[in-house]
Amino acid sequence: MATYYPKNALDTKRIARKLWQNIRQAKIVFLSGPLGAGKTFFVKQLGKVLGIKEEIISPSFQLIKVYSIQNTNLRLVHTDLFRLDIKSQNDFLELFEYLGDEKNIVLIEWGEKIANFIKPKMTIEFSGIKKRKIKVKNLTQICKPDGLANLG
């Protein structure tokens, strides 16, 4: 587990860069936390780290957005379940198909809504607006939980 306190976009980008290898290994990552806490903002910064040229925008209206990641065969899949009423797997079948593909790195805002069906290897919790906090849970061992000062 690691906790970061990003003060701005640059800090957030550094955190995204640091977490990328973990995210890539986890393949499915829940982004949790209240409205406006910075979930989409984090994905935007990660997109910059990965050299994604398209602008990453909130997937609230178009539910699933897919971006190819340069120089890899991977895709970044970004979704937001906030508006979905989920009672069974049938309510998110389309997303379920993306989850089954090894090449997809799937970031799910409001992933807790499908926690009964899917257990991600990694969850990133966002909170605070005056003092923003990013808390990473279920880290795999390659990411040492050291502080922001060590971010390259």
Beta bridge partners of 17: none
Q: Is 15 helix (H, G, I), strand (E, B) or coil?
A: helix
64 by DSSP, 3-state: which? strand
| Window of 35-43, 48-56, 86-94, 139-147 that interacts with ligand ATP by CB under 6 A | 35-43
113 binds Mg ion (CB under 5 A): no
Size of the site for ligand ATP (CB under 6 A): 18
Tell me which residue has its CB nearest to ligand ATP: 38
In this chain, which stretch among 22-30, 86-94, 102-110, 122-130 interacts with Mg ion, using CB under 5 A?
102-110
Cβ contact 58:70 at 8 Å: no
DSSP state letter for 61: S
HEC per residue, 74-90: CEEEEEECCCCCCCCHH
Binding site for Mg ion (CB under 5 A): 39-40, 58, 109
Binding site for ligand ATP (CB under 6 A): 6, 8-9, 12, 33, 35-41, 58, 80, 82, 109, 126, 132
